Amino acid sequence: MCVNAAHAAVDNVTSLSHELFTSSSSGVMELAVRAAFCRASRSCPAVVFVDDIDAVAPATLNGPLDTRSVAAISSAFDNIALDADGHAGFIVLATADREEYVHPSLVRPGRFHEIITLSSPDWNQRRCMLATLMSEQSLVDSSKIFDDGSTRQDCAAHDADVDTLLDLLASATPGFMPADLVSVVSEASLDMDALLGTPRVQADVVATNWDTFCETMLTSTQRVRPSLLRSMGSAWSAIPWDEDAISKMHGLDEAISTVGACVRAALAPELFRDAVKGAVPSSVDALGCVKGLVLHGPTGSGKTALARAASSFLPRGVLNAIAVDTADIVGKVVGSSEKRVRQLFSVARASAPTVVVLENIEVIAPRRSSMSDTDSSPSSSAAAFRRLLSTLLIELDGVSSGASCRSGILFVVTTRDLSFVDPALLRPGRLEMHVSLNYPTDIARWQLLQDFCRTSAPHLLFDPPVSPSIGRDSENASSVMDSAPSWMRELVKSSAGL
């Protein structure tokens, strides 16, 4: 994408290939780099492009080739001739997976001094990209789609279905980068070719088999894993937006109100101010500076459901949501756990505004007083968890950017008991907002039972006693039907006509 943008801006683009930097012949690499910079200076305006510079000039030099690459690029930068206004007439454009992967001698003023971070597209951008990709592959009629991805007002019923499909696809692809969306459309097109036995599916064939095409597109979104989340394997997963997520919860009104206020204040302050016009401005600003929330309560009380529904407090497409399994962060190799924590924060910054859900935070941040001090070796379990906790605290302290306390990242973590978590993580300035979830009330239990029975018996009207579910949590309320008295099971079956 970067090289395409360079070609669109100027005619003269010189690319430095990886084969050039792997030459073992003395002086060949240095001469080629200097020649590329000289050609660019003679044919201004021009661009010198280096793809994946973190591979040829890594932060940790692994051998003489890496040392020579860094020296050659640094020398070429330092020998650039400037005009009277201090301009070189050309720029050097490079790409890297992450800024910290590039050798620090190159990432400084006078060399690569401008760092541009490409974040993941939001809902509207994903929708527009998907519409463009589907149109380019002749899966939909391009003449009826605007540049912003919306269909024309005079469209037919099929084109209205295209709008609906684009909405569903954009909602099902949070955290997807443009390359991921290309893979989604390409895989769906190949699957349609295989299903229909045609070499290349066109828009008229798609319109005839529209239901199959919709199912194929939605299936491809599940097969393609976002690039941002691929670095940690199965530890991360994107959370799709669900408008009904909040309405499915009962008995958690106070917790829902608190979590919703924090999400709106921290990630969408304009919407939050409009909703609380009578509130004191200082209190609104203080709530917006919250970095994270801790949902604690007994097992099955709805902590995970509420945490994963945090993105649903804002309109669709406003923010991304990522779920992280803390058990998969802990690695066997020394230093791997700390690396994954740093990757977590790096991905969160790249996909901001975002909600990061960490379940069972006590797995990576246990109370230090509970760790054994008998073995003080660096490879001991206690030492490993101390390093992991220190890395987590350092990264959490660096979430806020500049003078503004808002960074576009909100952490929502869950734990069964606050006493299991290290107090340093729970103090103000870190995960300072603690939300308690308890067993549901009698009315909430009845609402839960109604929801669970509605699919099997939509016309079921009865007022069962709440005593069979007393002491049960919201998650296990569904098990009441499995172990319910015979009168309840028979009533559900008779009402459902079973």
Query: Which of 223-227, 267-271, 292-296, 401-405 is predicted with the least confidence, judged by mean pLDDT?
Result: 401-405
Same domain, 242 and 293: yes
What is the side-by-side strand order in the sheet with 46-50? 12-16, 46-50, 90-94
> Pick the residue with more confidence: 211 or 405?
211
**Beta bridge mates, 411:** 292, 356
Q: The pTM is what?
A: 0.65
Measured CA to CA in angstroms, residue 108 lies from 235, 329, 370 at distances of 34, 32, 44
Q: Is the pLDDT of residue 494 over 60?
A: no
> Pick the residue with more confidence: 406 or 243?
243
The pLDDT tens digits of the residues spanning 226-247 come to: 776 665 555 566 677 677 777 7
pLDDT at 372: 61
pLDDT at 50: 86
As given in the structure block, the two tokens for residue 89 are 């007439």
pLDDT at 157: 45
402-428: average pLDDT: 80
User: What's the rounded Cα separation, in Å, for the pair 495 and 258?
Assistant: 39
Q: Which residues contact 466 (CB under 8 A, 6 or more apart)?
A: 442, 445, 446
Residues 328 and 304: beta-carbon distance below 8 Å:
no
Same domain, 60 and 135: no
What is the side-by-side strand order in the sheet with 433-436? 236-238, 320-325, 354-359, 409-415, 292-296, 433-436
Helices (H) and strands (E) counted in the chain, each on its own, are 21, 9
User: What's the rounded Cα separation, in Å, for the pair 29 and 207?
Assistant: 54
Domain boundary among 173, 193, 224: 224
The pLDDT tens digits of the residues spanning 262-285 come to: 888 877 766 555 554 444 444 445
Q: pLDDT band for position 1 (50/70/90)?
A: low
SS3 category, 211? helix
pLDDT at 152: 43
108 found inside a domain: no
Query: Which of 44-48, 219-223, 227-231, 379-383 is predicted with the least confidence, judged by mean pLDDT?
Result: 227-231
125-143: average pLDDT: 82
As given in the structure block, the two tokens for residue 145 are 């789609």
The pLDDT tens digits of the residues spanning 474-485 come to: 555 555 445 444
Highest mean pLDDT among 19-28, 92-101, 225-234, 277-286: 92-101
* Amino acid of residue 412: V
Highest mean pLDDT among 78-82, 102-106, 372-376, 444-448: 102-106
80 found inside a domain: yes
288-299: average pLDDT: 83
401-418: average pLDDT: 72
pLDDT at 273: 54
Same domain, 326 and 392: yes
pLDDT at 294: 92
As given in the structure block, the two tokens for residue 492 are 């559900």
Percent of residues, the chain, with pLDDT higher than 70: 73
Residues 290 and 337: beta-carbon distance below 8 Å:
no
CB-CB neighbours of 101 under 10 Å: 16
The domain spanning residue 327 has which CATH number? 3.40.50.300
Same domain, 250 and 359: yes
Query: Which of 21-30, 117-126, 245-254, 468-477 is predicted with the least confidence, judged by mean pLDDT?
Result: 468-477
Same domain, 468 and 411: no
The pLDDT tens digits of the residues spanning 32-50 come to: 888 888 888 888 888 888 8
Domain boundary among 393, 421, 436: 436
SS3 category, 353? coil
Q: Is the pLDDT of residue 254 over 80?
A: yes
Same domain, 52 and 88: yes
pLDDT at 295: 93
Domain boundary among 181, 206, 224: 224
pLDDT at 284: 44
312 found inside a domain: yes
Same domain, 299 and 265: yes
Strands 46-50 vs 236-238: parallel, antiparallel or unpaired? unpaired
How many folded domains does the chain comprise?
Answer: 4
111 found inside a domain: no
109 found inside a domain: no
pLDDT at 162: 84
pLDDT at 159: 55
Which 8-state DSSP code applies to residue 94?
Answer: E
Same domain, 162 and 273: no
Q: Is the pLDDT of residue 135 over 60?
A: yes
The pLDDT tens digits of the residues spanning 322-331 come to: 888 888 888 8
The CA dihedral of 104, 342, 115, 184, to the nearest 10 degrees, is: 130
44 closest CA partner among 2, 75, 14:
14
110 found inside a domain: no
As given in the structure block, the two tokens for residue 231 are 């670095």
Same domain, 10 and 61: yes
Q: Is the pLDDT of residue 257 over 90?
A: no
185-191: average pLDDT: 89
Percent of residues, the chain, with pLDDT higher than 90: 4
Domain residues for the domain of 333 are 233-436
Q: Is the pLDDT of residue 71 over 80?
A: yes
Q: Is the pLDDT of residue 312 over 60?
A: yes
112 found inside a domain: no
Same domain, 425 and 476: no
Same domain, 393 and 429: yes
Same domain, 352 and 372: yes
117 found inside a domain: no
